[in-house]
Copies of this chain bind each other. A is one copy, B any other.
Amino acid sequence: MTDARPLAADLAPRILAGERRALARAVTLVESTRPDHRAEATALIEALRGHGRQALRIGLSGTPGVGKSTFIEAFGMALVEAGLSVAVLAVDPSSARSGGSILGDKTRMDRLSRAPRAFIRPSPSATHLGGVARRTREAVALCEAAGFDVVLIETVGVGQSETMVAEMCDLFVLLLAPAGGDELQGVKRGIMEMADLILVNKADGDLKPAATRTVADYAGALRLLRKRPQDPEGFPKALPVSAYTGDGLPEAWGQMQALARARKDSGWWDRRRAQQAAHWFEEEVRAGLLARLRTDPAIRAAMAGLAEDVAAGRTTPDAAAAEMLARLGQGG
């Protein structure tokens, strides 16, 4: 397969050799929506299959203001200084609309972005969440093939993007700021249920007492959730950290490692990765099917004709849809 795809054939061995420039080039490739690039990207991912390397994929969510960039800088540097390599990717489905992008401001991660064992990739501007999912997932696969020990996938606190990130990581970490007790309700139950670890940042200086209280509040809330059979006693857990002083970061990393080890030992890790791959296959089929409605000229024309009939009141949305689906059932 790969010899038909010169770029994929060139990049694959270089990525496996850990060549940073090839990795950056490949991430750009998977971010492209051009059909020839898509074909090269699919061939590249296929060529990299079976390398047997596994990074610890950590999903990290937190709304703006919790100090996420500072946390990633401090946590990433701590890992790098411990001899590990770290890739940081970002998922921000809103960046297309807002014009901004998380991780866009690399100056916030000044040290980490210059560390030789780190790779930081800002969120590309997004047109739709499906596209973001595929690109991020493929970028994760590339970083894993390049031999990174840890891949951090950052997202903003928006329901759908968090679900998506949870489907491509091994651990999910929720970063929060210290808060008053009644603000607990601000975190949606669904996100609490996704979190393996809740880290309350800014546990330093004046905010330390509030952070300690917030940790206790969340620890209490987490105890009310159903225990996950795959996890050791005590998980999910809430811990205080300070990205500013570095306090709590070694403990947080220790907990992540303990959880990863337990999940590997129980076989849950491999099962979960297999489920995730199957999930993304199904998602891709769904996305591809819907894409045909927009891209196949004959289908587009039929859709437009029926839409006109519906708009003019000559038929109802449901009757027209039934007709269109009958046509599509006969081979489009």
A contact face: mostly helix, strand, loop, or mixed? helix
Selected from B49, B50, B311, the residue in CB contact (under 8 A) with A277 is B311
Return A110 CB to nearest CB of chain B, in Å.
29
Selected from B41, B49, B306, B331, the residue in CB contact (under 8 A) with A331 is B331
Instruction: Name A273-318 residues within 8 Å CB distance of B.
Output: 274-275, 277-278, 280-286, 288-290, 292-293, 303, 306-308, 310-313, 315-318
CA distance A158 to B214 in the complex (A): 26
Residues of B within 8 A of A330 (CB): 331
Q: Number of copies of this chain in the oligomer?
A: 2
Contact with B along A25-61 (1 / 0, CB 8 A): 0000000000000000110011001100000000000
CA distance A137 to B318 in the complex (A): 10
Residues of B within 8 A of A258 (CB): none
CB contact under 8 A between A312 and B274, given known A46-B319, A324-B285, A325-B288: yes
The tally of residues in A whose CB lies under 8 Å from a CB in B reads: 48
Q: Does A262 contact B (CB under 8 A)?
A: no
CB nearest neighbor in B for A326: B288
Residues of B within 8 A of A278 (CB): 307-308, 310-311, 317
Q: Is the CB of A318 within 8 A of B285?
A: no
Q: Does A84 contact B (CB under 8 A)?
A: no
Q: Does A332 contact B (CB under 8 A)?
A: yes
Return A3 CB to nearest CB of chain B, in Å.
16
Q: Is the CB of A285 within 8 A of B293?
A: yes
Residues of B within 8 A of A275 (CB): 311
Return A247 CB to nearest CB of chain B, in Å.
30
Residues of B within 8 A of A138 (CB): 318
Residues of B within 8 A of A324 (CB): 281, 285, 288
Q: Does A99 contact B (CB under 8 A)?
A: no
Residues of B within 8 A of A332 (CB): 329, 331
Q: Is the CB of A289 within 8 A of B281?
A: no
Q: Nearest 7 A-B pairs (CB), nearest first? A: A331-B331, A284-B321, A274-B311, A280-B317, A281-B317, A278-B307, A288-B325
Q: List 22 A-B contacts (CB under 8 A).
A: A45-B316, A45-B318, A46-B315, A46-B316, A49-B313, A137-B317, A138-B318, A277-B310, A277-B316, A277-B317, A278-B308, A281-B310, A281-B324, A282-B293, A285-B325, A286-B290, A288-B322, A289-B289, A292-B325, A329-B331, A330-B331, A331-B332
